[in-house]
Amino acid sequence: MSDNVDRAQKQVAAPQFGTATIAFAMVGLAVLLTLVQYAGALPEWLHRVPEALVPNFAGWLDAIFSFVKDDLGLLALTRFLTEGLEWLLDASANIFFGKRRWPNIGPIPWTALAAAVAVVGYYLGGWRLALMGGGTFIWTALIGQWKIAMQTLSVLAIAAPLAFVIGLSLGIAAWKYAWVDRAIKPILSVLQTLPFFTYLLPAVIFFKVGPTAGAVATTIYAIPPMILMTTLGLQKVSDEVVEAGKMSGCSKFQMLRYVYLPSARTEILVGVNQVIMLCLAMVVLTAFIGMPGLGAKLLAMMGSFKLGRSFEIGVTIVLLAVTLDRMSKAWVIKQPEHFERDTPFWKRHQMLLLGLVLFVFFTLLSWVMPIAGEIGRGQDFSQGKELDNLIKWFLNIDWVKATTGFLRAFLNVKVLIPFRNFMLSIPTPAFILLVAAFALALAGRKQAIYALVFFGFVALSGWWDRAIITLYSVTAAVALAALIGLPIAILAARSEAWAKRMLLICDTAQTFPSFIYLIPAIMLFGITDIAVIFSILVFAMVPLIRYTIEGLRTVPPEMTEAADMSGATSWQKLWNVQIPLALPTMAVGFNQAIMFAFFMVIIAAFIGTQDLGQELQRTLAGTDLGKNFVLGICVALMALTFDLTIMKWAADKKRAMGLT
Amino acid sequence: MPTDTPVISCKNVWKIFGKDPRGYLDSMQPGTSFDDMRAAGYIAGVKDVSIDVHRGEMLVIMGLSGSGKSTLVRCFSRLHDITGGTIDVEGQDIMSLPEKELIDLRRSKMGMVFQSFGLLPHRTVLENVAFPLEMRGQDRHTRRERALEVVKLVGLEGREEYFPRELSGGQQQRVGIARSLAIEPDIWFLDEPFSALDPLIRKEMQDEFLRLQQMLNKSIVFITHDFDEALRLADRIAIMKDGAVEQCDTPDRIVLNPATEYVRKFTEDIDKARVIHAGALATTDNKGEGAPVDAKATVHDMARMLVSDARDTIPVQRDGQIIGALARKAALDVLLGDDK
C-alpha cells in the first residue's frame, strides 16, 4: 500500500518542477512574440497562418463524404431507414396532433392527455407532480400552443425511446467487450463537445429536411449519456449479487436479463432522464433545419421581435421541461411497494385503471363537447400582444432604458471590445503557446501536447479569427459568470436552507433547453453582442453556482470544526479551509461552465455574431458538409482542450488531498 | 455422520491473481513464499490446497480476511477458475465441464449463501427464493409452491410479498438461506453468512442454522473468520493463512495439537474444556477400569467426576463399545488450562 501512495504522490509532484520552468519559458516566448508584433516587426506569416498554407480540409472531407454517401451506398441505406422512421413519426404525429396518416385515430383530446399525465404524475410523485403534469398540459392547451407542442412531443416520443434502445445496447456492448469500450470512449467525448449544428447538417443530407432529420439529430445527440449511464450501472452491480445469480444457475442471457439489468435500474433510469432532457433540448433546436413545433415558432417569434409570444412559448417549453424532468426523476427513486397477499386485481392496478377511465371519459366527452378535444383559433387565452406592449413599456421606462443602455455601452466599449481586440492582436503561435503553457502548468505534458495539436489544427483550418472570437465570447461570459456567480454561491453555501434553495433553482434552470436563455437576453438587450454574452453568462452561471455550493457544502465537518477550534474567523475559514478543499469540485463546475458556454455561443449565433457559430449556421442553408464539419471540429477541439486540462487538474488535486 | 466418499475433492489447487497467472505458476520455483509472489506482482488467493469435503459433514474454513477462504470456496463452485490442480465435485472434474453442464451442476446440486446476502432488490421475498427455480425453467405454479415451503422453513411466513429493503438484516439472510435451499442442493456453501449481523441475531441465526442442518443433513462448506463460530458448528475445521491450509482437523484435535504457531494463537483464549471430548483424549493402549464415560462428553461435562474420581485411567465408550481409555491427569490438565 505504502509504495502505492508514494507513487501517487510522485506522480502529482513530478510534473511541477520541470514543467513550471517550461511553462514560464512558453509564456515568455509568447509575450515576446506579441511585443514584436506590436512593434510591427513580426513577419506576417508568423502572425497568422498564410492562406496558401491552409490545407483544404473541407474539400477533403467533402470528398470522403461523397465517397461514403454515393460510392459506398450509405445514402441508399439512410434513405431506406428514413422510410421506416418516417412511418413511425407519421404514426406518432397522427396520435398526437392528428396528421392524416395511419393509424388515423388521433389527435388525442387535450383533456384526455392532461388527465392521463396527471394520473402518471400522481402515481410517480403524489399530488404535486399530478398538479404540475396536468397543469402544464392545461396551460399549453389554453394558451393556444397545443398543436405546436404536440408536434414537438410527437418527435420526442419517437426519438427518446430510440436513443434509449440504442444507448442501452451500446452501453451493454461497451460493458461486455473491452474493445467496444475503447472504441466508443473517444468518440463519445468528441460527440459531447461537438456543437449541435454539426449534427444537423449530416442529418439533413442523409435523412431529408424536416421531422425525420430532426428526429435523427435528436436521437444521436441523446445517445452518449445513455451509454455512459448503462455501463456505469452494470459495472456497479455488486459481486455478490452476480455470484448469487451464477449460483442460481443463470445462463449468460439470464444473467443479463434477470440480474444485471434490474440491479442497474437506478443508473439506467438516470440515463432515461438525461435522454429525455437532451431530446427535448435538441428537438427545440432542430427548428434550425425546418422542424415544425415549439422551437420553430419560438425562432420565428424571436426573429420578428414578438417578445410577448416568445415569452409564452418559452414558458411552455420550460414547463414541459420541468415536468418531464421531475417525473422521470421521481421514477428513478420510486421503489416497488408490496401488496398484502390476495389484494384484488383492481386494487393492485388502481392507478392504471383510474388513468384509463379518465382517458376514456374525456375522449367521449370531446365527442359531445368539441372544446374538450381541441381549442380552436381565437378561443385561447394567449396574451401575446398585451405582453408585448407590457415588455416594451417596461424597457422604455427611463431608468430601465438608462440602465440597459449604460450596461450595453460600458461593457461594449470599455470591456468587451478592447478584450476582443486584444485577443485578436496576439499572433497565432503566441496564442497556441499560451494555451499549451496553461495546460502544462495545470495538468501535465500530455494535456499540453493535446493543446498544441488541437489549437494547431484550429490555426490550420483557416478559421482562426472566428475561432478566437468564439473563444473570446466564451472567456468573457465565463469570467463575468464567475464574477457574479461565485459570490452568490459562497453566500448561499453559508446556510443549509439557502444552499438547498439555490441548488433547487440551479437544478431547475439546468433542465431548461438552452434556447430559452436567449429570450430574456433579447428582451433586455435587443439583438446585440451584449445579448449573446448575457445569454451565455446566465447559462454558464448555473453549473458554476451549483458545483461551488456542492464543493463548499461537502467539506468534511471535522475540518471546519478544526478551523473553528483553531480560532479562525469566518473569512479565514473560507479562504484557508473551505475554498482550497472545495476547489477541485469548483473546477468541475468551471469546466462545465466552459462547455456550456461553447454550446451556447453557437446557438447565440442566431442573434448574429461574427464567430464560428454564425458560419456554422450558414452552412445549414446549403450542402457544405465538409466546411460544416471543419467548423464543428474546431469548436469541439477548443472545448476538449479545456475539458481535458481542467478535469485532469481536478482529479490530481482530489487525489493529492485524499478526497476521492 | 460423515462417510468416506468425498463430495468435493481438491488436489494441489492453486488460484493466483495477476497478469499471467498460469505462465507464472508453470515457471514458479518450488517453495516460493507468499511475499515472493507478491513482489513479482502476483497474489496467491489459494496456495497448493488439497482438501476433501466428505458427504454429510460440515467443513468450516476459518481464516482472517485475505487468507483466501472465500476464494477457495468460489473455486469449489467454479465462480473462480483455478490456476492449477484439480477439483472433483461428485466425481466430475469441474474445470473440464463445459458451460452448459456447469450451469446444470449449479442448478441441481449447489446452493450458496453470501455475506451481504446478494438478494435481487427488485424482486419480492418469494420471487427471490423462487429465482433459481425460475432459472432452471420450472413452471410458475410448482416454483411458487416450493418457494412458499422454503420460506416457511426459514420462518418468514407472512413476508412473502415484501421487498428485501423492507426487511432487517437477519430476515434478509433468511431469504438468502431460503433461496440457496430452494433447489434442494446436495452441497451447501455458506460464505460468512452471519458476519454482517448483530451479535444477538448472529447467535439466533446459528441456532436456526444448526436446526436446519439437523433436519436436512447436507454436505456443507461454511466460511467464517470467527473461531468460536467455527468450534460451535464444525465437524472439521480448516484454518487458512496466506492462501494455504495451515491445519485441517476436528475441533478437539486442533485445540489439543495445534500444528503451527499461527493455529496455536487462535486456540490460546479458547475454553478448551468445552471443546475437547472424551473421545479425543482416549488412547487405545489402555482399557481402564470401572464405569465408562461417553466419547461425546466434553471435559467440561466430566469436570465434577474428574476431580472427585480416583482412577488414573477412565474407559471411554462410543455407541456402547469401549474404544479406549483417557488419562485422568491429561483431562485435568485440559480442565485447569495447564499447557505442558
Q: Grid coordinates in use for A86?
A: 418516417
| Nearest-by-Cβ selection for A338 from B110, B121, B124 | B124
CB A427 within 8 A of CB A34: yes
First to last CA, chain A: 16
- Residue A52's Cβ-count burial label (10 Å; 0-12, 13-18, 19+) is exposed
CB contact under 8 A, A251 and B163: no
Interface with chain A: mutation pick from B43, B114, B133, B171, highest number of A CBs within 10 Å? B114
Rounded to 5°, the CA angle B203-B205-B207 comes to: 70
B81 touches chain A (CB under 8 A): no
The three-state DSSP-derived secondary structure of A82-147 is: HHHHHHHHHHHHHHHHCCCCCCCCCCCCHHHHHHHHHHHHHHHHHHHHHHHHHHHHHHHHHCCCHH
pLDDT digits (tens, 9 = 90+) for A406-428: 888 888 888 888 998 999 889 99
**A240 to chain B, minimum CA–CA distance in Å?**
5
Where are the strands (E) in B107-264, listed by range?
Answer: 110-113, 187-191, 219-224, 236-241, 244-249
Question: Is the pLDDT reported for residue A1 higher than 50?
Answer: no
d(CA A556, CA A223): 36
B186 and chain A in contact, CB less than 8 A: no
Distance CA A459, CA A467 (A): 9
Q: Band the pLDDT of A4: cuts 50, 70, 90.
A: very low
Contact B121 A263 (CB under 8 A): yes
- What are the DSSP E strand ranges found in chain B? 6-17, 43-54, 58-62, 84-89, 92-93, 110-113, 187-191, 219-224, 236-241, 244-249, 293-294, 313-318, 321-327
Residue A313 neighbours by CB under 8 Å, 6+ apart: A145, A148, A294, A297, A298, A301
Quote the CA–CA distance of B68 and B46 in Å, as a whole number: 6
Closest CA to B246 of B34, B3, B17: B34
Q: How far is A625 from chain B (nearest CA, A)?
A: 47
Pairwise CA distance, residues A141 & A96, whole Å: 13
Contact residues on chain A for B74, CB-CB shorter than 8 A: 243
Out of A245, A249, A338, name the one closest to residue B161 (CB).
A338
Give the one of A243, A262, A337 whose C-beta lies nearest to B122's C-beta. A262
Tens of pLDDT, residues B171-204: 999 999 999 999 999 999 999 999 888 888 888 8
Interchain CB contact of A3 with B (< 8 Å)? no
A255 in B contact zone (CB under 8 Å): no
Are A641 and A451 spatial neighbours (Cβ–Cβ below 8 Å)? yes
**Chain A to chain B, count of Cβ pairs less than 8 Å apart?**
82
What are the CA-CA distances from residue A416 to residues A37, A475, B60, B123, B180 (Å)?
22, 10, 76, 60, 70
Q: What is the pLDDT of residue B281?
A: 85
- Range of weakest confidence among A144-148, A201-205, A264-268, B254-258: A201-205
| Chain A environment of B110 (Cβ under 8 Å) | 247
Cα B69 to Cα B63: distance, rounded to the nearest angstrom:
6
A244: chain B residues, CB-CB within 8 Å: 112, 114, 118-120, 176, 179
The pLDDT of residue A16 is above 60: no
| pLDDT of A645 | 92
For residue A107, give the nearest of A93, A126, A122 by alpha carbon: A93
pLDDT tens track for A389-411: 888 888 888 888 888 888 888 88
User: Does A259 contact chain B (CB < 8 Å)?
Assistant: yes
Give the other-Cβ count within 10 Å of A239's Cβ.
12
Instruction: Copy the grid coordinates of residue A468.
Output: 478566437
Among all residues of chain A, which has the CA nearest to that of B127? A258
Searching chain B, which residue's CA lies closest to the CA of residue A335? B122
For residues A458 and A452, what is the distance between their CA atoms, to the nearest angstrom?
A: 10
Provide the edge-to-edge strand list for the sheet that holds B219-224: B110-113, B187-191, B219-224, B58-62, B236-241, B244-249
How far is it, in rounded angstroms, from Cα B320 to Cα A33? Answer: 105
Flag if A258 and B160 touch (Cβ within 8 Å): no
Contact B161 A339 (CB under 8 A): yes
- To the nearest whole number, what is the mean pLDDT of chain A? 87
Q: Are A650 and A584 in contact (CB under 8 A)?
A: yes
Single-letter amino acid code for the residue at A507: D
Contacts of A258 in chain B (CB under 8 A): 120, 131, 134-135
pLDDT of residue B199: 86
Q: pLDDT digit string (tens) for B115-140?
A: 999 999 889 999 999 999 999 899 99
Mean pLDDT across A193-208: 78
Residue environment code for A601-624, b if the CB has 16+ CB neighbours within 10 A, otherwise e: bbbbbbbebebbbbbbbebbeeeb
> What residues of chain B lie within 8 A of the CB of A259, using their CB?
120
* 3-state class (DSSP) for residue A298: helix
Looking at the complex, report in whole angstroms how far the Cα of residue A658 sits from the nearest Cα belonging to chain B. 25
Task: Pick from B120, B138, B163 the residue to mutate for testing the A interface (most A CBs within 10 Å).
Answer: B120
Q: Is A449 on the interface with B (CB under 8 A)?
A: no
**3-state DSSP assignment of residue A559:** helix
Q: Which of B75, B119, B131, B157 to mutate to test the interface with A (most CBs of A within 10 A)?
A: B131
pTM for this prediction: 0.85
Q: Do A248 and B160 touch (CB under 8 A)?
A: no
- The DSSP output letter for A51 is G
- The residue among A644, A612, A406, A624 whose CA lies nearest residue A525 is A406
Please spell the DSSP secondary structure of A490-528, one letter per residue.
HHHTTSHHHHHHHHHHHHHHHHS-GGGGHHHHHHHH-SS
Q: B34 — contact with chain A (CB < 8 Å)?
A: no
pLDDT in tens, chain B (340 residues): 445 678 999 999 999 998 889 988 888 888 888 888 888 889 889 999 999 999 989 999 999 988 999 999 999 999 999 999 999 998 889 999 999 999 999 999 999 999 999 999 889 999 999 999 999 899 999 999 999 999 998 889 989 989 999 999 899 999 999 999 999 999 999 999 998 888 888 888 898 888 888 888 889 999 999 998 999 889 999 999 999 999 999 998 898 889 999 999 988 888 888 888 888 888 887 777 788 888 888 888 888 888 888 888 888 888 888 888 888 888 888 888 765 4
- Distances in Å between the alpha carbon of A372 and those of A99, A112, A117, A143, A304? 19, 8, 16, 14, 32
- First vs last C-alpha separation in chain B: 33
Q: B107 and A240 in contact by Cβ < 8 A?
A: no
**Nearest by CB to A246, which of B79, B136, B166?**
B79
Alpha-carbon distance of A552 to A499, in angstroms, equals: 10
Cβ contact A263–B115 (<8 Å): no
Instruction: Name A423's Cβ contacts closer than 8 Å, sequence gap at least 6.
Output: A431, A468, A471, A472, A475
Answer whether B74 sits within 8 Å of A340, measured CB to CB: no
Residue length of chain A: 660
Number of H helices, E strands in chain A: 32, 0
Looking from the CA of B310 toward its CB, the CA atoms found within 13 Å total 0
Q: Going by DSSP bridges, is the β-strand pair B219-224/B187-191 parallel, antiparallel, or unpaired?
A: parallel
Per-residue pLDDT band at A474 (split at 50, 70, 90): very high
Contacts of A249 in chain B (CB under 8 A): 103-104, 106-108, 132, 135-136, 183
Query: Residue B73's pLDDT is what?
Result: 93
Residue A346: pLDDT over 90:
no
Closest residue in A to B129 (Cα–Cα): A248
Q: Residue range A27-33: average pLDDT?
A: 89
Q: Is the pLDDT of residue A6 over 50?
A: no
- Rg, chain A, Cα only: 27
User: What cell does B68 get?
Assistant: 483466501
Chain A CB contacts of B79 below 8 Å: 243, 246-247
Phi then psi dihedrals of residue A203, to 5 deg: -60, -45
- For residue A8, the model assigns a pLDDT of 44
**Range name among A240-244, A480-484, B294-298 with the lowest pLDDT average:** B294-298
Residues of chain A contacting B184 with CB distance shorter than 8 Å = none
Q: What is the pLDDT of residue A62?
A: 84
| Alpha-carbon gap, residue A550 to A186, rounded angstroms | 28
Which residues between 116 and 155 in chain B have a beta carbon less than 8 angstroms from any beta carbon of chain A? Answer: 116-124, 131-132, 134-136
Sheet strands (E) in B256-329: 293-294, 313-318, 321-327
CA distance A82 to A210: 11
Residue of A nearest to B102 (CA): A249
The helix (H) or strand (E) run that includes residue A601 is helix A579-603
DSSP classification of residue B277: B
The question of ipTM being above 0.90 is answered as no
User: Does B115 touch chain A if contact means CB atoms closer than 8 Å?
Assistant: yes
pLDDT digits over A615-642, tens only?
777 777 666 778 888 888 888 899 989 9
Residue pair A12/A419 in contact (Cβ under 8 Å)? The answer is no
Q: In the prediction, which pLDDT does B309 show?
A: 85
pLDDT for res A660: 61
- Name the minimum distance, in Å, from the CA of A47 to any CA of chain B: 52
Q: Report chain A residues whose CB lies below 8 A from the CB of B161.
A: 338-341
Q: Does A348 touch chain B (CB under 8 A)?
A: no
Which residues contact residue A144 at a Cβ distance below 8 angstroms, ignoring those fewer than 6 apart? A375, A377, A379, A380, A381, A382
Whether A338 and B115 lie within 8 Å, measured CB to CB: no
Q: From the CB of residue A156, how many other CB atoms can be counted at a distance below 10 Å?
A: 24
Diameter of chain A measured on Cα atoms: 91
Determine whether the interchain pair A243/B118 forms a contact, defined as Cβ–Cβ distance below 8 Å. yes
Contact check, Cβ <8 Å, A265/B122: yes
The residue in chain A having the minimum alpha-carbon distance to the alpha carbon of residue B161 is A338
Query: Best interface-test mutation with A: which of B161, B163, B187, B223 has the largest number of A CBs within 10 A?
Result: B161
CB atoms B122 and A340 under 8 Å: no
Coil/strand/helix, residue B246: strand
Alpha carbon distance A192, B274 (integer Å): 68
Q: Note whether B165 contacts A335, CB cutoff 8 Å.
A: yes
B93 is written with which cell numbers?
472434474
Provide the pLDDT for residue B59: 95
Strand order through the sheet with B321-327 = B293-294, B313-318, B321-327
DSSP B182: T
Residue B339's pLDDT is 57
